[in-house]
Amino acid sequence: MEFSNRLKSLPTQFFATLVQKVSGAVAEGRDVINLGQGNPDQPTPEHIVKALQDAALNPLSHKYSPFRGINELKQAAAEFYKREYDVKIDPDTEVAIMFGTKIGLVELPLAMMNENDLMLLPDPGYPDYLSGVALANVRFDTMPLLEENNYLPDYSKLTAEQKIDAKLMYLNYPNNPTGAAATKEFFEETVALAKESDIAIVHDFAYGGIGFDDNKPVSFLQSEGAKDVGIEMYTLSKTYNMAGWRIGFAVGNPKMIEAINMIQDHLFVSLFPAIQSAAASALNESQQCVDELVALYEGRRNALVEACSKIGWDVKAPQGSFFTWLPVAKGYTSEEFADLLLEKVDVAVAAGNGFGTYGEGYIRVGLLVDEDRLVEAINRIEKLQLF
């Protein structure tokens, strides 16, 4: 038996390779400080767990869920967007429930594009965007995210041909891996481009709940006309430490929402209803847990940046997400530097080239261990005398 050509075309799973390297070092009994992961280290807040327990006891939760999700969660998503962003969402036509937003990001090209159509992707960017490209057998061009432009794509660099051919564009702010934030002006420029060139926009708002220095991340849908051209995907994984629960939703343009719902009608029978009820509780109830989580990450960010500064490592503090984007030491590629840190001082980081061509020269560090361990990691790196 052979795999299909479609399966053979899939890119190597970047994070699986990273996990394999770290697991090998740990298996040797080494004390590895793992800063390469993107897995939240805090537990899901107790009131959300309690909501799941209560819903799981309800016999109605044991039946098939409605294909397109329960009304309680769709209504909660609409109320969440009105409360947090003053964006009006129709729960019946402008919400799609998903098994985490990764599935939405991968399946949307299948639902909205034909073979050889063009999509535009950020570089550096989340590696799994390329999985959707391969499965749908579409073309892609990248938009460089450069420090001198605050890691925002420069639309003036798009060619006339790209503007004509592109059918779909992915954006992601606060950004993985750079930690950069978008502005309302940038999203307004995006809406104008989308209308002018007939490009559908997908904003991956995975880190929408995590903004620093009292700056709340901006929703794409807050820009006038955004729902005419695109959708936003919101996951509960990061904001509420629910990564293992696999639940998220998309909101916005009704036609794009219907495309997601249609393809999912054929792939799934929605999620366990009790998880959906718990997700509704997360969105509806007190957001104190979110405020506390953001304060925790900001404290870790400050500790890391300060420790880097002390050893002469010039690091730009991220504006959001739980990642920091650090330049590598002179004379090393991203992968060489990442391998050196793991081999010599037992510090695991993600090599920037794994996120795209323009990730070369950087590493990504997760703020997903205690402050003491973050500082210890930098102290270990200091011993290499690279800065």
Q: Work out whether strand 200-204 and strand 230-235 pair parallel, antiparallel, or are unpaired.
A: parallel
Domains and CATH numbers, the chain: 5-44+288-382 (3.90.1150.10), 47-284 (3.40.640.10)
Q: Looking up tokens 């980081």, which residue turns up?
A: 349
* Share above pLDDT 70 across residues of the chain, in percent, rounded to a whole number: 100
* Share above pLDDT 90 across residues of the chain, in percent, rounded to a whole number: 94
What pLDDT sits at residue 312? 96
What is the reported pTM? Answer: 0.96
What is the CA angle 251-354-340, rounded to 5? 140
Distances in Å between the alpha carbon of 290 and those of 42, 77, 171, 295, 369? Answer: 12, 16, 23, 9, 18
Give me the long-range contacts of 287-296 (CB less than 8 A, separation at least 24).
289/45, 289/47, 289/240, 290/209, 290/239, 290/240, 293/42, 293/209, 293/210, 293/239, 293/241, 294/209, 294/210, 294/211, 294/212, 296/42
Spatial separation of the C-alpha atoms in residues 131 and 125, rounded to whole Å:
12
Spatial separation of the C-alpha atoms in residues 44 and 94, rounded to whole Å:
27
* Positions in the chain whose pLDDT score sits under 50: none
Spatial separation of the C-alpha atoms in residues 341 and 309, rounded to whole Å:
18
User: What's the one-letter identity of residue 334?
Assistant: S
* Cα 300 to the center of its chain, rounded Å: 19
